[in-house]
Structure 1
Amino acid sequence: MTTFPSANPARPGSRNRFPDLYRAVWRWHFYAGLLVLPFLIWLAVTGGLYVFKNQIDGFFHQQLMSVAAADTPVRAPTELAAAALAAHPGALLKYTPPAGPARSAEALVSTIAGERLVVFVDPYRARVLGTLPDGGSVAWTIRKLHSLKYFSPIARGAIEIAAGWAILLVLTGIYLWWPRGRSGGVVSVRGTPAKRVFWRDLHAVTGLGVGGMVLFLALTGMPWSVLWGQQINQWANGNNFGYPAGVRVQVPMSQVRLAEGESTTWSLQQAQLPQSGHEGHQGHEDHDGHSGHDGHEGHTAHAGHAVPDVPPLPSALDLDQAVAAFDRLGLAPGYAVQMPRGPKGVYSGSVYPADLARQRVVHLDQYSGKPLLDMSYADYGPMGRTLEWGINVHLGMEWGVFNQALLVVTCLGIVLLCASAAVMWWKRRPAGGLGVPPQPANRRLQAGVLALLLVGGAIFPLVGASMLIMALLDWLAFGRRAQQTPA
């Protein structure tokens, strides 16, 4: 039987209050685990694999992504794109120049059959190496499995709920772990695997070791969630333009968003693309070198103003000229070029390397080649920079091998936490029962703990709703009778 540690015995009545609080917290910790453990194992396994995305794709798609370097110059982008289109007729949506001398070029093609294919081309010989569906690499498949993107929005909402309950697990787990005068089971494991105390201590000590990272991963994963993440993204971007604070936008904007054509950073999910062919109406250059009429941030030209007739537009730049312009601007290797969409579209060059300082998105006027917008990580507002840094660590990209090792150890720790919790529960559950921890004698205390939890639930609405449902089920099942569960 579990012995609940007491508070300070010198204080009258504290021995009676403390077990009730412990039981209330333990009960919610149990319910959180009941809901979250399967999801945590899924997230840990898929997340631990995705940490090695470059190595995984390099292994499984080596014949597509790698080429033998040659002494001859790399062929022109238009020639490589033409080779891709000759093999798979359709429209070119995006072109990615070779990221290094031994890397292939990539052309994203919308085929006449309606497929979106990434066509890999040898940059020295203009020979098509093969194709993959857009987002169909092994690493991207793992990432979509990690977020349940293959399933319905309801399933993705379950991931959001699981992340919120994982936060609850960590916070309540810290309370349950707190020594309160004990020495065993705090940083050491007692007993043998045959005994429940071994699994209890193993669970507690593992939680102590990886709990901080579990909390960090849950919080940094929330920006990508289906409900909370979408709403906070809209709010953080302000006015629904999505451009970071400090970038003064006074060029005509389209209704097309950057995220519609490619995978982009969280801070640019709502970013709209500017329009080409309007250089004569962009206003003067302000003292920061940004185009602007009145210095306001994130505003397009005022609606309702008459736009004078403009002369016919010159011929558009070809892909060779656009790539040359991006090279002159110094985009990091591995950048992708999104093709203009229609006569007012722009060439968009974007790159999101592990080094946040080199993240960059540049939009070129498709006629003049003039940069209409040039955004980098330094242009993001404080919230955007903080969230992007957190996401970079979450993806294992910030500190190289150390970041990968930290995440792998954390993922292994999560699996061990889940396994030890399952064994511990199995050993303490009564025959034929669920083994729910005993209710506190003071039911107001149970309600008070729920009220505190719902404060966090108000921040994450799906999590708060699930807490209310769990509290209702608990009341329906156990509210009318006291339950004493063997410990």
Structure 2
Amino acid sequence: MIRTRISTVNNEKLLEAQRRSLFWRIHFWAALIASPFALVAAFTGILYIFTPQIESALYGKMDRVVPAGAMRPLDDAVAAANAAMPEGLMLRSVVPAYNERDSVKVYFAPVGTRPGHEGHDHGPAADSISARPTVMYVNPYTAEVLGSQVEAERFGNWSRKLHSSLLQGDGWRWMIELAASWLMIMLITGIVLWWPSKKQNALPQKGTQGRPAWRQWHAFIGIALSLISLIMVATGLTWSKYAGEQIRGARDLAGQAPPQAPRNLKSAAIEGATPMNWQSAWDAARRQAPDVSMQLTAPRGAHGVWRAASFDRRQPEKKFDLVLDAYSGNSLYYAGWDRQTAFGKATAIGIPFHRGEFGWWNQAVLLMFGLGILFSLVSGWVMYFKRRQSGALGLPRLLPGAWTSASPATWVTAIILSMAMPLLGLSAGLVLITELLLHWRMRKPATA
């Protein structure tokens, strides 16, 4: 009986050691793959955090105005922007002045392209230097054009593309997605390896020096930032190329797609009547929508409709989409915060948080996160070089039977994550092939 109990305890200890060595190995591979891209993402992300301050310094004279009496009708600002419109562009949408110091922003797109999101080009005409999506800034008090700017060249859009693709176009977005995928694995395996036990302290110990000190602070910083790391990685993956498609597919299957206005909505054209002008449409939208900065899109054709949507992501609880009859101003469709799905609400909060758009506290948290990521990556490699012996690869030791020691739950989790993050699955396959080659090399008998 005693021998059986001892044998059971020994088997449990062996299994625990095997699994721990496996998680160490996976943690190392995750760091090896993610580090170069994660370093780039951290540095460019820290730069992007300070977008509000940088844009205020760069574009304050276009974004802000000095109040001077009553604002003129919105149509005056739109007419002024149209008169100064660059050749090859057509009016796309308008963001009226929300605060008394805001300028009116009039968005233009290349002729022949469909309306899209700010900061993105649509169609071949967008490749022309003389016909790129452009914003005209107009003083709402005087209807004076304050200036114009190509959307993609505004610092916020430029730094966001630097962060996501190093300014190399969508074809390079895979780099940050690959880093985010393996950062998720680093986070999961790091938590498993850190999880405190009787033999392990959760906090750094005073007086510890050398590699043990690096290890303790590496673990402590990583765990302290684990929640925000999960939020940042998850929200980043939602708008990535491959993982984003998987996430959106799962969202739609789960019935969590955002509400969409029916495509067949039409205005009831009244004989002899003209559609509402910009000011009337803005007034009608403000009567029916939350008090928030909004973007207006004019109707196309006699039966077209006015569309209004919230423009300020810093107030997600006021997010709305509104469709108005072009003649009466009556609502044909409205979806506010209460119509948003749980997934939609989570992303409406998570994405602005990821971008640091909730104010100084949000920027401070993200700066701390970015510096923490840099420390985690650098300290991990410091520990690696302190452990690695000259002439050796320095891979964490993998105990015999480690790969078969993983629990069914571990394998199921790995399969789900690989399906959700295709780049993770593809690169993980290459890691497994490398592991097989290393195993074969170690077992191969030495030749004389």
Q: Confirm or deny: 8 A CA contact 1:440 1:446 kept in the other structure.
A: no
What does 1:92-107 align with in structure 2 at a 5 Å threshold? Answer: 92-107=91-106
In structure 2, what is the equivalent of residue 123 of structure 1? 140
CA 1:124 to 1:278, structure 2 compared with 1: closer, same or farther past 3 Å? closer
- Counterparts of 1:243 and 1:17 in 2: how far apart (Å)? 46
In structure 2, what is the equivalent of residue 419 of structure 1? 378
Q: Confirm or deny: 8 A CA contact 1:189 1:202 kept in the other structure.
A: no
**1:377 equivalenced with 2:337 (yes/no):** yes
**1:230 equivalenced with 2:230 (yes/no):** no
CA 1:33 to 1:218, structure 2 compared with 1: closer, same or farther past 3 Å? same
Deviation at 1:203, TM superposition (A): 0.9
- Counterparts of 2:238 and 2:411 in 1: how far apart (Å)? 25
- Counterparts of 1:230 and 1:477 in 2: how far apart (Å)? 34
Deviation at 1:459, TM superposition (A): 3.2
**1:77 equivalenced with 2:74 (yes/no):** yes
Structure 1: tracts of 5 or more residues without a match: 1-7, 255-273, 280-310
Structure 2: tracts of 5 or more residues without a match: 1-5, 112-129
Q: Which amino acid aligns with 2:133?
A: R
Number of positions where the alignment pairs a residue of Structure 1 with one of Structure 2: 416
Deviation per CA, 1:321-373, whole angstroms, max 9, x where unpaired? 21222232244342111222444432221114322221112122223322211
CA RMSD of aligned residues (A): 3.1
**1:51 equivalenced with 2:41 (yes/no):** no
What does 1:50-449 align with in structure 2 at a 5 Å threshold? Answer: 50-70=48-68, 72-89=69-86, 90-110=89-109, 113-148=130-165, 150-182=167-199, 186-188=203-205, 190-192=207-209, 195-234=210-249, 236-237=251-252, 243-244=258-259, 253-254=262-263, 274-278=264-268, 314-353=273-312, 354-397=314-357, 400-445=359-404
Q: Confirm or deny: 8 A CA contact 2:18 2:400 kept in the other structure.
A: yes
CA 1:241 to 1:17, structure 2 compared with 1: closer, same or farther past 3 Å? closer
User: 2:283 aligns to what SS in structure 1?
Assistant: helix
- The percentage of aligned residue pairs carrying the same residue is 27
Deviation at 1:14, TM superposition (A): 4.0
- Counterparts of 1:85 and 1:432 in 2: how far apart (Å)? 68
Deviation at 1:174, TM superposition (A): 1.5
User: 1:372 aligns to what SS in structure 2?
Assistant: strand
- Counterparts of 1:452 and 1:80 in 2: how far apart (Å)? 55
CA 1:458 to 1:235, structure 2 compared with 1: closer, same or farther past 3 Å? closer
Normalised by the length of structure 1, the TM-score is 0.76
In structure 2, what is the equivalent of residue 459 of structure 1? 420
CA 1:189 to 1:154, structure 2 compared with 1: closer, same or farther past 3 Å? farther
Normalised by the length of structure 2, the TM-score is 0.83
Greater mean deviation of Cα atoms: 108-117 or 420-429: 108-117
Greater mean deviation of Cα atoms: 199-208 or 28-37: 199-208
Q: Which amino acid aligns with 2:420?
A: I
CA 1:137 to 1:312, structure 2 compared with 1: closer, same or farther past 3 Å? same
Deviation at 1:156, TM superposition (A): 1.8
CA 1:149 to 1:324, structure 2 compared with 1: closer, same or farther past 3 Å? farther
Deviation per CA, 1:396-445, whole angstroms, max 9, x where unpaired? 345x4433322221121111111111211222223344322122212543
- Counterparts of 1:93 and 1:363 in 2: how far apart (Å)? 16
Deviation per CA, 1:192-235, whole angstroms, max 9, x where unpaired? 4xx22222222111112112221221122222121232343355
Deviation per CA, 1:153-172, whole angstroms, max 9, x where unpaired? 44323323322221211111
Deviation per CA, 1:95-151, whole angstroms, max 9, x where unpaired? 111121112111112367422210111122222111111243212222222222843
- Counterparts of 2:321 and 2:332 in 1: how far apart (Å)? 11
